């Protein structure tokens, strides 16, 4: 585990993390400001918060993680979920001074197992939430997404691990894939449909289509644009997927993607 300049744990991240946080910050800003007239309480819920700071593994430069990015935007309430005890304590130390009178709850545990803790800390009346799910790989289970669909008024911004996990693991023949991995993939997609696709050896991009279809079954609309995080060889690592039941969210997401992290206007 790396330590940041403040002596606390930090995430080891690639250069692409700054691009991801660029899009997160743009959407957080539009969400927190653009919904403020209608919703008096605007929650930011981070399901895989981490310690709050990342260190670029190539340059050694420190950068703020998703919790600190959210705190720089005018949300009224925050819920930070983190499973690692050391990261959890570092997160609290780094974020509490930035609350400026706003309310935050800290939940130690697996995001897929703390439903009751999250729901009891959200005032549903007059509130709207943005849920950010950015795990390492496929930790977010579809039953968790379904639970949010049924219990929360919220937008979801989800890390879809196209190249970091799925493209690498799914092409394996069945004898090479462990039962644990099979079960994890079933839970991630919310069924075995991915296995039927796999039998035909399709372009891995169709697994994103499958995931999107599952989200639609839960009542979500999907943002048309997927920011693509790439490595130094321009290979796709993962996408950010927006799921919402509100047309305004799709508008915000389109605006978010109109200018890339390098200042270039995107053509759709």
pLDDT at position 165 = 84
User: Alpha-carbon distance 45 to 148, whole Å?
Assistant: 11
pLDDT: which is higher, 93 or 60:
93
pLDDT one-digit tens code per residue, 199-238: 766 676 788 999 999 999 999 999 987 777 767 777 777 8
How many degrees, rounded to 5, is the angle at CA 181 between CA 199 and CA 174? 35
Average confidence (pLDDT) over 16-38: 93
pLDDT one-digit tens code per residue, 252-267: 999 999 887 777 776 5
Q: What is the DSSP letter of 106?
A: E
Average confidence (pLDDT) over 62-81: 97
pLDDT one-digit tens code per residue, 121-178: 998 888 999 999 999 889 999 999 999 999 889 999 999 988 888 877 876 655 577 8
Enumerate domains of the chain plus CATH numbers: 2-256 (3.40.50.150)
pLDDT at position 14 = 81
Predicted TM-score of the model (pTM):
0.94
User: Alpha-carbon distance 30 to 118, whole Å?
Assistant: 24
pLDDT at position 178 = 85
- Beta strands 41-46 and 77-82 are parallel
Average confidence (pLDDT) over 86-93: 98
pLDDT: which is higher, 18 or 222:
222
86 backbone dihedrals φ, ψ, rounded to 5°? -70, -45
Is 196 a residue whose pLDDT tops 90?
A: no
């Amino acid at each position: 585990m790396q330590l940041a300049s403040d002596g606390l744990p930090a995430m080891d991240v690639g250069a692409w993390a700054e691009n991801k946080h660029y899009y997160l910050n743009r959407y957080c800003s539009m969400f927190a400001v653009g919904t403020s007239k209608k919703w008096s309480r605007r929650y930011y819920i981070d399901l895989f918060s981490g310690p709050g700071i990342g260190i670029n593994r190539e340059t050694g430069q420190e950068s703020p993680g998703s919790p600190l990015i959210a705190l720089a935007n005018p949300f009224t309430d925050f819920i930070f979920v983190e499973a690692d005890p050391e990261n959890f304590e570092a997160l609290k130390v780094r974020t509490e001074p930035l609350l400026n009178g706003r309310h935050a709850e800290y939940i130690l545990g697996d995001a897929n197992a703390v439903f009751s803790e999250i729901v009891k800390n959200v005032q549903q009346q007059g509130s709207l939430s943005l849920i950010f799910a950015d795990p390492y790989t496929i930790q977010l289970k579809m039953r968790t997404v379904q639970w949010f669909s049924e219990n929360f008024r919220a937008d979801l911004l989800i890390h879809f691990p196209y190249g970091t996990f799925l493209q690498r693991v799914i092409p394996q023949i069945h004898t090479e894939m462990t039962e644990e991995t099979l079960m994890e993939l079933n839970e991630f997609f919310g069924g075995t449909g991915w296995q039927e696709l796999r039998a035909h050896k399709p372009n891995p991009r169709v697994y994103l289509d499958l995931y999107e279809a599952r989200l639609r079954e839960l009542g979500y609309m999907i943002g048309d644009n997927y920011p693509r995080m790439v490595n130094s060889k321009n290979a796709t690592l993962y996408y950010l997927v927006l799921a919402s039941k509100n047309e305004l969210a799709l508008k915000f997401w389109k605006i978010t993607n109109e200018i890339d992290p390098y200042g270039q206007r995107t053509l759709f």
